[in-house]
Structure 1
Amino acid sequence: MYKSHLSSFFLLLLAEGFFGNRFQINLIKELSSKQLPHNFVISPFAIHQALALLYLDKDIRKDYQLAKALQFTGRRSAKIVNFFGKARWKANRQHFVMANRIYFSPDYNVSENTQKINKDLGVDVEHMNFSDGQKSGDEIKKWLSKTIEKASQNIFDKNDLSNATQLVALQGMSMSCLWKHRAKSLTKQSFSIARPNKTPYIIRVDMMYTKAPFEFFNDDEVRGVMIPFSRTDIGMLVLIPRRQGTQKVLQNLDKYLQIKMRKAEETHVFLPLFTVQETMDLNAVLKAVGIKNIFNNVGDESHADAANFKQFNFLEVKPNRVLIKADVGSDNDQRVVKVNQAFVFVIKDQSNIYMVGRMENI
C-alpha cells in the first residue's frame, strides 16, 4: 500500500510537469521546423501566460480549441492561475525582467473575469485603437522599452496593425544569469563555427571557467550539463550536439528533456560569454499548434488575422563576479565540459521553459 501511494504521488508530480511544459515544448518544436536565425532566443513561458489569460477571459463559454492546445482541458481556473503564480514568483527571485501585455480594441468585450485574474497571471490589459497602425506600434514599443531597457529595436512593421486588428499580445523578457557557482576565472578558448561544405571556422572567445558539482548526461546524440542558478531550482540546461545540428536538437527537445540527469559530480565547465536578443512574430507558429479561433474570430465578429502576437527577449550570459583572468588548463582526471561549438540552451525548472534558444556563432 505504501509503495502504491508513493507511485501515485510520483505520477502526480509527472503530470504537473507535463501540464506545464507540454504546450511550451510543442511551441518550440513547431518553431524549430521553420527557418531560424543562427542565434535566437524565445520565451515559451511568456506566450503561455498571455494565452492563459485569453482562455480564462471567458466566464462561461471557453475556447476548447485553445484549451486543448494549452493542455488546459479538465483544469480548473484556480489551478491554472496558481501554476503561473508560482512560476512568476521564482522568475522574480531570479531577477528576470518580464513584460507581458495584451492590447484590446475598444469594441472587444473584455470580461470582468479578466480584470480579476490578469494581475495573478502577470499579464497587463490595455485598450487601444489600432486605426493608426504606425502610432499604435510606436506607443507599444515605448511601453516595452520603458519596461525592458534593451528593447530599442522596432517591434511592429508598418502594416502589422490596422482597423481590422482586435487584439495585440506582446511579451518581453530580459535577464542576466545569476549562477549558483561563481566563475573562478575568465579564459580564452577556441569556439568552432560550422560552415556548410567547408571546414569549421575557429575563433578564440572569452569563456567563464568554474569547477563545481554539476548534473549532466552523455547521450549518443547530445551531451547535456545543467548549470544551476543561485536562488531557485531554475537553471540553464546546455545541450551540445554530437552528430546533428542545433535545429534537430530543438525539434527533439522533449526527448532530451526526459533523459535522466546523472548525480552531480565535480566538473570543469567552460561556458562562453554571450548576448542574444530576438524579436519574433508568433502568429504562424500559434496557428500551426492548433490555435486559430483567436486569429479568425476575435470578439463578436469574424476578422481575418485580427490578432497579432509578438515577442522580444534579451539574454546576457556573463560571470556574477570575475575573480581572475587567466588561462586555465583542464584536469583530465575529472570531468571536463567545454561548450566550444554551436549549442542549445534551455532556461527551465521542472514545469516551465522560461527561455530557449541556440548560439551558432559567438
Structure 2
Amino acid sequence: MQLFGFLSLLAVQAAVLSLNIHDDTISEFAVKVYHELRATKEDENILFSPLSIAIAVGMVELGARGASLKEIRHALGYDKLKNGEEFSLLKDLSSMMTAQEKHYVLSIANSLYLQNGFHISDKFIQLMKKYFKAEVENVDFSQGSTVADHINAWVENHTNNRVQNLFSSEDFTELTKLALVNAIYFKGNWKSQFRPENTRTFSFTKDDESEVQIPMMYQKGEFYYGEFTDGSNEAGGVYQVLEMPYEGDELSLMLLLSRQEVLLATLEPLVKASLIDEWANSVKKQKVEVYLPRFKVEETVDLKDVLSRLGIVEIFSRQADLSAISENKDLCVDKAVHKSYLEINEEGSEAAAASGMIANSRMAVLYPQVIFDHPFFFLIRNRRTACIVFMGRVMHPEALSSGGHDFEEL
C-alpha cells in the first residue's frame, strides 16, 4: 500500500486573519469541527483554524475523484457550489488574505513534496500552482531523518519559528509518496492595547471548582458588548458576549462568557453559525471593563480522526480515489495533522514586568464588567465578511500562560 500524507499547520501570534469563502461555509464548517473536538476533549482546551484546515483539505480534494471527492465536498459544505468552484474561492481567499495591509503581518505558504521517481499528473501540479501557489520539490522519503529536518526547516521559515520540530524521522518511510504542507502565520496588535502595568495575578475558577493563579490583563475601553439569553434557562439564563477589534478594525476577537456558576459545557451546545451572526449583529459599542487572561497555546489536532467523524472516510482507506494525482491505484492519505499557535497578550508582543494597582470595584460598577476568571469560548473573525478562521475554548489557562513575569495579586 503506497501512502500519502498531508499536514495543516498554523502559527499565530495575538490574532489571525479571516476572509469569506462563500456565505457561511467556513463558519458552519468551524462549528462542526468545534463540536467534534469538544466531544472527545471533555475538559481540555481547544484551538484550531478552520481556514488552515480548509486549505489543506482543498489541496487533497484537487486530486480526488468519485466517492472520495463527494465526501470532501459534503463535509466542507461545498454541495451548494458548482463542481470545482471552491478552488477558485480558496484561491481568492488566499489572495485577499495576503494582500498588503499595514496593520498586520500575514503569510500563507503551501508546499508539495514528491518522492524521487514517483510520477504524478502534470495537470495536478499545474492546478496546485494555480490555486494554491504551491512550491514543488522532489525528496527521498526513505531518508526519513533528512527529509524531516528539511521540511521542518521549511515550516519554521514560514511560521516565524513558531512551529519547530514538527516531524520526526518515523513520519516518513519508503512507502510515502507525497506530502502536502500548509502553513499560515499572522501577527497583529489590539486596536486598544492593554497596559502591561495593569496586569495582575488573578484567581481563575475551573469547572471542577479548583482555582489557579493566572496573569490577568485589564483595561476599560469602548468595545462591542451584549448580554444574551438562551430563552429557556437551560444554559443558566443570561451570558455575556464581548467583541474586541484589532488594529484596522477588520479583525476581532469575540468571546462568550457564561455566568460564574454555569459550566461552559452547558452553554456550548448553543453554538451555531447563525447564533454567532446574531451575536455580531446585536452587540453594541459601549464602555466596558475587561479582565482577560494573558496566555499562549500550541495545539495539535488529529485531523484524520476529526475528518473521518465528519464523513471524510474514503481517502484514508484502500478505496481512496486520488486518480487526479496519479494513475497509481494504491494512493491514499496516511497522515493528516493540524497544528495551531495562538498568543494573546497586552500588545501582541511579550509583556513587560508590571507595577501599579487596579481598582477592583465589583461592588460599585459604573460600566459593564466582563471578567474571564472561569472557562470561556472564543473565536477570531473578519468583521466585514463574518468569516471565522480561529475558534477555541480556554478551560485550563494555567497550561497556556505566557508567563515570564511576576505580578501582584488583586
Residue in structure 1 matching 2:165, options 135, 154, 164: 154
In the superposition, relative to structure 1, how do residues 59 and 284 fare at CA in structure 2: closer, same or farther (>3 Å)?
closer
- TM-fit CA distance, 1:251: 8.4
Q: Report 1:83-98 matches (<5 A).
A: 83-89=93-99, 94-98=104-108
- TM-fit CA distance, 1:50: 1.9
* CA distance in structure 2 between the partners assigned to 1:250 and 1:302 by the alignment: 42
Q: Report 1:322-361 matches (<5 A).
A: 325-329=355-359, 330=361, 332-349=365-382, 350-359=385-394, 360-361=396-397
* CA distance in structure 1 between the partners assigned to 2:101 and 2:345 by the alignment: 18
In the superposition, relative to structure 1, how do residues 15 and 147 fare at CA in structure 2: closer, same or farther (>3 Å)?
closer
Which residue identity does 2:140 align to in structure 1? N
- TM-fit CA distance, 1:48: 0.4
| 1:273 alignment partner in structure 2 | 294
SS of 1:64's equivalent?
helix
Give per-residue Cα distances to partners, 1:91-129, cap 9 Å, x unaligned: 995324544434344525244354355465465444433
Which residue identity does 1:244 align to in structure 2? L
Q: Is 1:309 matched up with 2:320?
A: no
Matched length: 347
Which residue identity does 2:301 align to in structure 1? M
| Contact 1:192 1:203 (8 Å CA) reproduced | yes
| Contact 1:171 1:312 (8 Å CA) reproduced | no
- TM-fit CA distance, 1:158: 5.0
Residue in structure 2 matching 1:231, options 205, 227, 248: 248
Q: Is 1:213 matched up with 2:240?
A: no
TM-score, normalization by structure 2: 0.71
| 2:278 alignment partner in structure 1 | 259
Question: Structure 1: where are the runs of 5+ without partners?
Answer: 1-13
| 2:313 alignment partner in structure 1 | 292
- TM-fit CA distance, 1:225: 0.9
- TM-fit CA distance, 1:228: 0.9
Q: Is 1:31 matched up with 2:48?
A: no
In the superposition, relative to structure 1, how do residues 206 and 19 fare at CA in structure 2: closer, same or farther (>3 Å)?
closer
| Contact 1:46 1:100 (8 Å CA) reproduced | no
Q: CA RMSD in A?
A: 3.6
TM-score, normalization by structure 1: 0.79
Give per-residue Cα distances to partners, 1:44-87, cap 9 Å, x unaligned: 11110122233345799992222222222333243443244334
Question: Structure 2: where are the runs of 5+ without partners?
Answer: 1-19, 399-410
The share of aligned pairs that are identical, in percent, is 18
